[in-house]
Amino acid sequence: MPRSAIRVLLVDDDPDDHDLLRRLLAKVEGARYQLDCVFTYEEGRQAVQRCEHDVYLIDYRLGEHDGIELIREVAREGCRAPTLLMTARGSYDADLEAMEAQVTDYLDKQRLDPVLLERAIRYAMRQKEVEQALQDARDSLEARVAERTAELTEAQRLKDQFMATLGHELRSPLAAIGNGVHLLRHHGAGQAAVLRTCDMLERQLDQVTRLVSGLQEAARLQSGMLHIRKERVDLSPLVTQGVEACRALIEEHRHQLSLSLPAEPLWVDADADRLVQVLCNLLENAALYTNPGGRISVAADRDEDSVLMRVRDTGIGIAPEARVGLFQLFTRTPEAQGRSQKGMGIGLALARGLVEMHEGSVEVYSDGPGHGSEFVVRLPQAAAHPS
């Protein structure tokens, strides 16, 4: 029995029954009851709506109404407290009807004694507790199912969007290739024009190849088929290598680039090619999602036990709410989607996947749209290179 008083509401139109119940409850040993009594169906209904009691004792006969109607009302109001139906004369039919109305128990007033009443209340409350626990478990399961469904729906939406973007992004290079073929076929007489067109065709083949490679990397990332080969390496030369690989793209967008590396080596156990790829992914984003003439700064340094690689830009920035799914495959922020760029929502997911394979993490900072962003790759620091 709980230590605090059990709040009981009696709904009964006979004042003698109020006295009877009060006497019976007073005789129960070891439990405290707070008995509130109301006479009419309407009073009972209003009291039930307030859901303030632990147990409802309801007489079968309530003027024009009956107790079962009231109990149905209790259930409709969402009141979870147990209900005990009391009757002056036992009737099997009334008992069955009460059971169907989900009455917790059915008591014969003639035979009530303190022990029986206490026991009925205790069992009724216990039964309701079990029902409640079951209901809670069901609710929590439903909530989890809803959550998972939402996640799957979102994943599906991203995939659909990705397929649409992929189609779109492939169409431009294909169109350019088509133009090149047209030029060669119809007007390819001049040597300079042929060379120029061939250069363009090569660039477009590269672009399509990059799109397809990105697609394959995404597939590997999703199926857990990415592999790395770690060795002890100094991060700084890799940063330089990554910057050089992206320099043409950065210059094409007329961005100012600054690079800051420490004098001492930054040892990490890493797959050198993959780290260069991570930096390139971050740098490409910086270049593509910064309006021409922006600033991009790349730095490597260390704090207590990590080696850090930072890429900061003055670009379109990231809204706080967009940060949540930013590293999810195929995710593109609304700002990014508004720009027909080469972005497919693969680079960041891949970067994070690769960094996590190095037991590292990627953090993102931005003061919001229009205020640039910073990506920080954090890798475990390794001991000095074995000589």
Partner 1 sequence: MRQRHPSTACILIVDDHPDLRESLGEILQVEGYTVALAANGQEALDYLGGHPLPRLVLLDLRMPVMDGWEFRRRQRERPEWAEVPVIVLSGADATEQRTTGLDAVGHFVKPVDLDTLLGTVARYCSD
Contacts by residues 61-68 (CB-CB < 8 Å, ≥ 24 positions apart): 61/13, 61/87, 61/88, 62/11, 62/12, 62/13, 63/13, 65/41, 67/11, 67/98, 68/94, 68/97, 68/98, 68/101, 68/103
Cβ–Cβ < 8 Å for 330, 345? yes
**Tokens 């039930």 belong to which residue?**
48
Cβ–Cβ < 8 Å for 105, 84? yes
Instruction: Give the tokens for residue 315.
Output: 């670009």
Q: How far is the CB of 316 from partner 1 (least distance, A)?
A: 9
Q: How far is the CB of 170 from partner 1 (least distance, A)?
A: 8
183 binds partner 1 (CB under 8 A): yes
83 binds partner 1 (CB under 8 A): no
Give the interface segment with partner 1, choosing from 11-19, 33-41, 47-55, 337-345 (CB under 8 A).
337-345
182 binds partner 1 (CB under 8 A): yes
102 vs 341, beta carbon nearer partner 1: 341
Of the candidate residues 15, 63, 262, 338, the single one contacting partner 1 (CB under 8 A): 338
How many residues bind partner 1 (CB under 8 A)? The answer is 28
Q: How far is the CB of 164 from partner 1 (least distance, A)?
A: 6
Q: Outline where the chain has alpha helix (H).
A: 15-27, 41-50, 67-76, 92-100, 114-187, 191-222, 235-252, 272-288, 334-337, 347-357
91 vs 341, beta carbon nearer partner 1: 341
Of the candidate residues 18, 122, 203, 302, the single one contacting partner 1 (CB under 8 A): 203
Of the candidate residues 15, 63, 90, 178, the single one contacting partner 1 (CB under 8 A): 178
Give the interface segment with partner 1, choosing from 79-87, 106-114, 175-183, 353-361 (CB under 8 A).
175-183
Q: How far is the CB of 291 from partner 1 (least distance, A)?
A: 7
180 binds partner 1 (CB under 8 A): yes
Q: How far is the CB of 134 from partner 1 (least distance, A)?
A: 47
168 vs 247, beta carbon nearer partner 1: 168
162 vs 267, beta carbon nearer partner 1: 162
235 vs 322, beta carbon nearer partner 1: 322
**In angstroms, rounded to a whole number, what is the distance separating the alpha carbons of residues 165 and 176?**
17
Instruction: Give the tokens for residue 251.
Output: 């210059």
Task: For residue 62, give the H/E element and its range.
Answer: strand 61-62
DSSP code for 384: P
Give the interface segment with partner 1, choosing from 117-125, 173-181, 230-238, 370-378 (CB under 8 A).
173-181
171 binds partner 1 (CB under 8 A): yes
211 binds partner 1 (CB under 8 A): no
**In angstroms, rounded to a whole number, what is the distance separating the alpha carbons of residues 269 and 230?**
6
**In angstroms, rounded to a whole number, what is the distance separating the alpha carbons of residues 189 and 172?**
25
How many residues does the structure list for the chain?
387
Instruction: Give the tokens for residue 26.
Output: 């007073």
Positions in the binding site for partner 1 (CB under 8 A) = 164, 167-169, 171-180, 182-183, 186-187, 193, 197, 200, 203-204, 291, 338-341
